[in-house]
Amino acid sequence: MNQETKRAIYILIVGNFLVCLGISLVIPVEPFIKKMYHLSTTDMGIMVSLYAFAQFIASPIIGRVSDKIGRKKVIVGGLFLYVISEVVFALSNHLFYFDISRIIGGLSAALFVPTSMAMASDLTEKKERARVIGWLSAAFSGGLILGPGIGGVLANFSYKTPFWVAAVLGLISAIFTAFYLPDEPVEQLKHTVKIKWREFLTPVLIVLFAMILISSFGLQGFESIYSIYVNQVFDFTMGTIALVLTLNGVLSLFFQIVAFDWITRKLGELKLIAICFLSGAIGTFWITQAHSQLEVIIATLIIFCAFDLLRPAITTLLTKTSQSNQGLINGVNMSLTSVGNIIGPIMSGMLMDWNSHVPYLVVGVILLLSFFMTLVVHRVELTTQAPQD
């Protein structure tokens, strides 16, 4: 990896962190906004979900656009939209404008996140890709993990302060990216203009896309009700929950930055995906049968670590399925992730109103079925690679 490529990767890492920071900054200020503007819980839920909905609609379209016009223009545009979304949120004093801000934020993520993954895939060889995707995933996770904490600290000044700070950092990042991120080689773009859908949607790629949907659905189905579940069923205090989530954050960054490349070199992406699905399923079932808080904490960390390795493993494997159309591949990836982010919390919330354990039993079954899907992918790959008579 030469110096220009390293510089580009570092710029993409910072951008991913900032964009994902913007996703989660809103979490600690939600109660204040709800109370100050007399909003309902439904209003808040819709406001939060609009981000994922905008991502879902825009990601595959923008991914295809980046294949045609180049990554840099789309990435820089995403960062400037990020700035606009944060400024609109900081200036808002009505639900309509908060919703508009979240839609713009979702569009900015749709522009930046899949395109940055596609550019990283364009710039790296296959042997380097797992390490780079791990770094980008760590930046993504780091933004989501640190966002609520940073937002909570800055909100002590004013609930608008986190968004003004994010806007300033985003503007600096956008300007820096516009000047220092390398342009896409023209020759490379020529190979991505035309797409043959029958050749593009191979059996392996279809199953991998299904895995993306299932993994995001399972993660959000598990995570969205976690605090409520462990408090209601196992009497976890807020301090205990915070400790578990902090430990998860530390382990997540370790596995994605330090260990992910080594693990994929030893096991390969497909074996790692299978292990993650299986361990996630076992951990989820374990929680529903646990008898102590320690058991729940151990099972929780197993599940979160499995998901933290699962997402970059699937993304890395996706980028290796085709040398061209990386923008479209990563756009569909992000879009399906958004679908899971929308449906997972809704499903778990509804099922939990019926019975506390049912949401996690459903998630466990889905993850177990996903494990068997990896066996299907393995058989398809073996069939495809078998010598022709």
Strand ranges (E), 93-188: none
CB contact at 8 A, 8 and 119: yes
Question: How confident is residue 97, by pLDDT bands cut at 50, 70 and 90?
Answer: very high
Other CB atoms within 10 A of residue 17 CB: 22
Q: What superfamily would CATH give domain 195-389?
A: MFS general substrate transporter like domains (1.20.1250.20)
Contacts of range 248-253, beta carbons closer than 8 Å, 24 or more positions apart: 248/145, 248/300, 248/301, 248/304, 248/305, 248/308, 249/141, 249/142, 249/145, 249/146, 251/301, 251/304, 251/305, 251/308, 252/138, 252/141, 252/145, 252/304, 252/305, 252/308, 253/138, 253/141, 253/142, 253/145
Rounded average pLDDT over 77-105: 92
Contact between residue 22 and residue 170 where contact means Cβ atoms under 8 Å apart = yes
Q: Which two structure tokens, joined as six digits, stand for 106?
A: 């979702």
Q: Which residue has the tokens 């569909």?
A: 332
Could you tell me the CATH superfamily of domain 1-193? MFS general substrate transporter like domains (1.20.1250.20)
CA pair distance 37, 47, nearest whole angstrom: 13
Rounded Cα distance, 269 and 277, in Å? 12
Residue 290, SS3? coil
The whole-number pLDDT of residue 11 equals 87
The pLDDT tens digits for 173-199 are: 899 889 888 876 545 554 554 555 555
Residues 328 and 63: their CA atoms lie apart, in Å, by: 4
Residue 324 has what pLDDT? 58
The C-alpha atoms of residue 99 and residue 92 are separated, in whole angstroms, by 10
Give me the mean pLDDT over the 285-296 stretch.
92
The answer to whether the 1-193 and 195-389 domains have the same CATH topology is yes
**Who wins on pLDDT, 389 or 284?**
284
Measure CA of the first residue to CA of the last residue in the chain; give whole Å.
Answer: 39
Taking CA atoms, 197 is separated from 78, 178, 202, 263, in Å, by: 27, 33, 9, 33
The closest alpha carbon to 33, from 21, 17, 46, belongs to: 46
Contact 364, 285 (CB under 8 A): yes
Residue 223 has pLDDT above 70, yes or no: yes
- Domain coordinates of the chain in residue numbers? 1-193, 195-389
* pLDDT computed for residue 158 by the predictor: 83
Query: Is 47:102 a contact under the CB 8 Å cutoff?
Result: yes
Q: What is the pLDDT of residue 388?
A: 42
Count Cβ neighbours within 10 Å for each residue of 143-177 and write b for 16 or more, e otherwise.
bbbbbbbbbeebbeeebbbbbbbbbebbbebbeeb
What is the mean pLDDT of the segment spanning 20-29? 71
What average pLDDT does range 228-247 have in this prediction?
79
Measured distance CA(37)–CA(94) in Å, rounded: 7
What is d(CA 253, CA 175) in angstroms, rounded to the nearest whole number? 27
CA 154 – CA 156 distance, rounded (Å): 5
* pLDDT tens string 110-138: 888 878 877 887 787 777 777 787 778 77
pTM listed for this prediction: 0.68
Q: With pLDDT > 90 as the criterion, what percentage of the chain qualifies? A: 14
Structure-block tokens of residue 84: 């606009």
Give residues with Cβ within 8 angstroms of 182, minimum separation 6: 4, 7, 8, 72
